[in-house]
Structure 1
Amino acid sequence: MVAAKAAEDAALLALVGQGDQQAMASLFDRYSGIVYSVALRVLKDTGQAEDVMQEIFIQVWKKPSAFVSGRGSLGAWLVVVARNRAIDSLRRRRPTDSVDDVVLAASTDLGAEAERNHLMEKVRAFLHQLPPEQQKSVELAYFEGLSHSEIAEKTGDPLGTVKTRIRLALISLRKAMHGSPSPGQTVQGEAS
């Protein structure tokens, strides 16, 4: 099912690259809800969330090749792009405020995205297997939207340590998502 959906997405993106408006409408119908939900969760403003969603789908229309299929699913890529654009928008909107107030709950169920829900459950289960320091750094970065510098400041850890923890966690996560050994076997240790 996941492979079939990935093949459909690839075919639709190829058609979008040829200017096919119906293919673009199909991609929009398939992913606009999740993109909007992520943007709304970060921004807490329906108008700005709609703007972020529109920017993302205009980007897909203009440059469908920006998505690299070998790095994951189109839905997951769009979620990450939506999160990043929303955080950027939030920072532009309130440059003097901290992004500490932005929280993306790890247990969020965005509804009809069964593939995403399955993937998120797998990620959550894997995160709980990471060393506590890596787990905390990843959660602060990806679920609370903090930058590496902000995480270092919040935890009191050196910036290099924070970056190493996140990098090791993401490498382990990538291996786990591709059916490699468990996290304890892929992470030998970390800088402290």
Structure 2
Amino acid sequence: MTTDERLIIRLSNQEQQSLVDLYDRYSQLLWKISYRAVADDAICEQILRQVFQDVWARPHDFNIGKKLSILLVECCQSKIRLLTMQKSS
């Protein structure tokens, strides 16, 4: 079992430390992706907060046979697109 698989199981069990561990493992990657898209610290923080809230609220959505890192990046990109659409409206 991989570290990511264990993280998802722990998240499913609502272990708070698992969210901290997930954040420590992936926040830098997601920050870089967000910052390249929006170049605004406050917005990047908002995007990351939303991504990690989604994982905490629905860990089963992040356990669908893809690598966790890919699912997190996809979620982050989705938040960026949504934010971009809202700004252009």
Give the TM-score, by structure 2 length: 0.90
Which of residues 32, 41, 55 is equivalent to 1:60?
Answer: 55
Please name the residue that 1:76 is paired with: 70
What do the CA deviations read for 1:60-103 (whole angstroms, capped 9, x no partner)? 11110011341x211111111111211210111222xxxxxxxx
Preserved contact between residue 67 and residue 77 of structure 1 (Cα < 8 Å): yes
- Whichever residue aligns with residue 84 of structure 1, its letter is S
Please name the residue that 2:84 is paired with: 90
- The answer to whether structure 1 residue 10 and structure 2 residue 5 are counterparts is yes
Alignment of 1:105-120 (within 5 A): none
Q: Which has the higher helix share?
A: 2
Tell which structure's C-alpha radius of gyration is larger.
Answer: 1
Which of residues 28, 32, 39 is equivalent to 2:34?
Answer: 39
- Whichever residue aligns with residue 36 of structure 1, its letter is W
Specify every segment of 5 or more residues in structure 1 that has no aligned partner in the other structure, as ranges. Answer: 96-192
Alignment length (residue pairs): 89
Please name the residue that 1:135 is paired with: none
C-alpha distance in structure 1 between counterparts of 2:71 and 2:7, whole Å: 15
C-alpha distance in structure 1 between counterparts of 2:55 and 2:10, whole Å: 12
**Offset of 1:8 from its aligned partner?**
1.1
Specify every segment of 5 or more residues in structure 2 that has no aligned partner in the other structure, as ranges. Answer: none
Preserved contact between residue 35 and residue 44 of structure 2 (Cα < 8 Å): yes
Highest RCO, 1 vs 2 (Cα 8 Å, sep ≥ 6): 2
% same residue:
24
- Whichever residue aligns with residue 22 of structure 1, its letter is Q
- Whichever residue aligns with residue 89 of structure 1, its letter is L
Give the aligned CA root-mean-square deviation in angstroms. Answer: 1.3
Change (3 A) 1:68 1:16: closer
Give the TM-score, by structure 1 length: 0.44
Preserved contact between residue 30 and residue 48 of structure 2 (Cα < 8 Å): yes
Which of residues 48, 51, 54 is equivalent to 2:46?
Answer: 51
